[in-house]
C-alpha cells in the first residue's frame, strides 16, 4: 500500500519522504502562494485559483487571503461558504463543510495528528482523520478543530475554542477544550 493510500484510509503514513505526497503538497502550496499574492481587486483570478486548489465547491463561496492547505483535493465546500483571513486547512483526510458555514479570522482545521509513541513520531509517522462540519455553522475567531471531529448543524463555536470532540447539532460551544454550554433554539 502506498503512503497516500494509507493517508486516505486514516492509517499511519509517512508524508515526509513520499515523492507523490511531497509533489502534491508542493503543487498545492504553490497555488496557495499565488492565491495569497494575487492583488485583492482581482477577484476573478483568486476565484479561479481556489477552483484549482479545492476538491469540491457546491455553490457560492468566498475565502479571504491568506489561505493555506496541504493538498486541497480533500476539501469540500457547501453553498454559501465564507472564510475571513488566515484560514488553514491541513487536509490529509476529508474536510467537509455544509451549506452556510461562516469562518472568522485565524481559524484552523487540522486532520493531521502524530503518534504519542516517541519512536513512531520521530520516524515521521502521522495520521489523518476527517473533519465534518454541518449546515449553518459559525466559527468565531481563532478556533481550532482537531482530527476526527464532527460538528452538527446550526452550531456556533465561540472564539478561541479548541474543538477536540464532536459537537451535536443546535449547540453553542466554547472553550479549551470546547464544550457545549447550551442548546440553540430558533
pLDDT tens, position by position, 18-71: 999 999 999 999 999 999 999 999 999 999 999 999 999 999 999 999 999 999
How many angstroms separate the CA atoms of 70 and 89, rounded?
Answer: 7
Listing DSSP states for 140-165 in one string gives: -TT-EE-TT-EE-SS-EE-TT-EE-S
Residue 17: its pLDDT value, please?
Answer: 87
Count of residues in the chain: 186
Say yes or no to pLDDT of 159 above 80.
yes
CATH architecture of 3-145: 3 Solenoid (2.160)
What residue segments make up the domains of the chain, in order of their start? 3-145
Which residues have C-beta within 8 Å of that of residue 118, sequence separation ≥ 6? none
How many angstroms separate the CA atoms of 99 and 69, rounded?
Answer: 20
Say yes or no to pLDDT of 96 above 90.
yes
Percent of the chain scoring above 90 in pLDDT: 98
Task: Determine which one of 114, 120, 165, 183 is catalytic.
Answer: 114
How many angstroms separate the CA atoms of 91 and 12, rounded?
Answer: 15
Please report which confidence band the pLDDT of residue 161 belongs to, taking 50, 70 and 90 as the band edges.
Answer: very high
The set of cell numbers assigned to 64 is 479571504
How many angstroms separate the CA atoms of 91 and 130, rounded?
Answer: 8
Percent of the chain scoring above 70 in pLDDT: 100
Please indicate whether residue 85 is annotated as part of the active site: no
Please report which confidence band the pLDDT of residue 104 belongs to, taking 50, 70 and 90 as the band edges.
Answer: very high
Mean pLDDT of 78-85: 98
Amino acid at each position: 500500500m502506498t503512503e497516500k493510500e494509507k493517508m486516505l484510509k486514516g492509517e499511519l503514513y509517512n508524508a515526509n519522504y513520499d515523492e507523490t505526497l511531497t509533489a502534491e503538497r508542493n503543487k498545492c502550496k504553490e497555488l496557495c502562494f499565488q492565491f495569497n499574492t494575487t492583488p485583492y481587486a482581482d477577484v476573478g483570478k483568486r476565484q479561479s485559483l481556489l477552483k484549482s486548489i479545492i476538491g469540491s465547491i457546491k455553490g457560492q463561496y468566498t475565502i479571504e487571503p491568506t489561505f493555506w492547505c496541504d493538498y486541497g483535493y480533500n476539501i469540500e465546500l457547501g453553498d454559501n461558504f465564507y472564510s475571513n483571513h488566515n484560514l488553514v486547512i491541513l487536509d490529509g483526510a476529508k474536510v467537509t463543510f455544509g451549506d452556510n458555514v461562516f469562518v472568522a479570522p485565524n481559524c484552523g482545521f487540522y486532520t493531521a495528528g502524530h503518534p504519542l509513541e516517541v519512536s513512531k513520531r520521530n520516524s515521521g509517522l502521522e495520521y489523518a482523520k476527517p473533519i465534518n462540519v454541518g449546515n449553518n455553522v459559525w466559527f468565531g475567531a481563532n478556533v481550532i478543530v482537531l482530527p476526527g471531529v464532527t460538528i452538527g448543524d446550526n452550531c456556533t463555536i465561540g472564539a478561541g475554542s479548541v474543538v477536540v470532540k464532536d459537537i451535536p447539532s443546535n449547540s453553542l460551544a466554547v472553550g479549551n477544550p470546547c464544550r457545549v454550554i447550551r442548546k440553540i433554539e430558533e
